[in-house]
Amino acid sequence: MLDIKYIRENVEAIKKAAKDKQLSVNIDKLLEIDKRRIELLQIVEDFNKQRNELNEKIKNSKGAVERELFIEQGKEVKDSSSQAEANFREIDQEYNSIMIQVPTVPSNDTPIGTSDKDNVEINVWGEKPQFSFTPKDHIQLGKDLDILDLERGAKVAGYRGYYLKNEGARIVMALMMYAMNKMVAKGYQFMIPPTLIKQYPLFGSGYFKGLDYDAEVDEIYKVATNDKEADGNYAGDSKFLVGTAEPSLLAYYSDEILKEEDLPLRMCGYSQCYRSEIGSYGKETKGMYRVHEFMKVEQVILAPADLELSEKLQQEMVVISKELHEELGIPYRQLAISTGDMSAGKYKMFDIEAWLPGMDRYGETGSASNFLDWQSRRLNVRYKTKDGETKFVYMLNNTALPSPRIFIAILENFQQEDGSVKVPEVLIPYTGFDVIVAK
């Protein structure tokens, strides 16, 4: 969410950003509503002032007749005030429903485009493996090595369900431990955050398209069961399963004011991740490439409102992702994401894609996004400057390592002619074995 003052002062830039991001948002209507909203707010405040003045007159009235006169006047003002408040709530709802759609103006070097086809490759690392034999995909490797069971996964969990077994399960846990230790060594505070959370962190971080959860478009699982509070009463808040640790980490300091000297704050979190994938129904249905649940280590930074510094921090996060891929020996490429493939709140975005021989293409294994203050305004995370000014922090996030696609990349890139799979050297201390062989 942007500052309305900023929107008023940068109308054309925001209209262009909406067009470039393929978003349908009526900025002119928003500004009209904004004017009406201010007028109604003033009316409500005037009525509140009148009510306070009449309450004082009632307290200080000289006799019953005068007191009754003020009470009658108070009733009239109260009725008018109630109507004005209702009018304000109605237009405030309309105002907020448009405000949340207003996009961040992307960086000047963000590629302009209409879809992911316009993303720009800016870096390539590693040699794609050249096999002297017919390579297998991760599905066949997983079955032959008895480390992945998709059939029983579908039986128990349904569409896109899977079991990781034996060395497969140990490889994935090794990946998470490796990523965690890497992030801690880089100065990131490690957390295991909640994965069952309230609505506001998901709205605040931009995982809802609108003000509230919409099952038709939001790729988030809503939990049907209502919690009970400590007093035994049912909780009023709905609960959701996170698709990444990002919302939980970003909301850690919600409604708090931090100190400038404590910024930037670097956090990372391990979590199970859940995604309904409703927008990708029928796509990549085989194997583990697109699944409903997986594990991931996520990076988050809360930074001061300094554009140049935020860009440096975003690069810091990307460099860590590259380092993880390179130490694992997985060929990858880096993409600058175009406006047509960015969500509303993002200022700049990069993807890392690993080479997947079984698909004969690169596949996304992480995204690094700079949101500036778009998320922090929703989550109300602020900081006090050394001069005493209160500002919203800038928020950045990036994938360290996700489990399924890195698992796929390891199996497919490091397979051997005898059907075995070599384990990347950096994982051996965590796995205790250096090769996966058929039982």
Structure tokens at 164: 């990781």
In the predicted structure, residue 77 carries a pLDDT above the cut 80: no
Shared-domain flag, residues 364 and 407? yes
Catalytic residues: 275, 290, 364, 367, 405
Say yes or no: 42 and 182 in one domain: no
Confidence of residue 230 (pLDDT cuts 50, 70, 90): confident
Instruction: Write down which residue in 69, 99, 129 finishes a domain.
Output: 99
Q: What is the pLDDT of residues 320-355, one digit of tens each?
A: 999 999 999 999 999 999 999 999 999 999 999 999
Q: Do residues 362 and 404 share a domain?
A: yes
Q: Is the pLDDT of residue 72 over 80?
A: no
pLDDT tens figures, 133-159? 999 999 999 999 999 999 999 999 998
Residue-level pLDDT at 277: 81
- Portion of the chain with pLDDT greater than 70, in percent: 98
Same domain for 305 and 177: yes
pLDDT of residue 281: 59
Domain endpoint, select from 47, 67, 99: 99
Q: What is the pLDDT of residue 60?
A: 77
Residue 360 lies in a domain: yes
Q: Same structural domain for residues 125 and 30?
A: no
Does any domain span residue 105?
no
Domain match, 134 and 49 both: no
CATH code at position 387 = 3.30.930.10
Task: Flag whether 379 is in a domain.
Answer: yes
> What average pLDDT score do residues 284-297 get?
91
Query: Percent of the chain, pLDDT > 90?
Result: 82
CA atoms of 247 and 386, how far apart (whole Å): 28
Is 107 among the domain residues? no
In a domain, 394, yes or no: yes
pLDDT of residue 283: 66
* 345 and 247, same domain (yes or no): yes
- Kindly indicate the confidence band of residue 27, based on its pLDDT and cuts at 50, 70 and 90: very high
Does 110 reside within a domain?
no
Q: What is the pLDDT of residue 183?
A: 98
Does 51 map to a domain?
yes
Question: Based on the domain organization, do 84 and 131 belong to the same domain?
Answer: no
Do residues 67 and 123 both lie within one domain? no
The reply to whether 53 and 11 lie within a common domain is yes
The pLDDT of residue 48? 84
Instruction: Tell whether the model's pLDDT for residue 371 goes beyond 80.
Output: yes
Task: Decide if 163 is inside a domain.
Answer: yes
Which residue range forms the structural domain that includes residue 17? 4-99
Q: Is the domain of 49 the same as that of 167?
A: no
Q: How many domains in the chain?
A: 2
CATH code for the domain of 17: 1.10.287.40
Regarding whether 391 and 288 lie in a shared domain, the answer is: yes
Residue finishing a domain among 99, 130, 156: 99
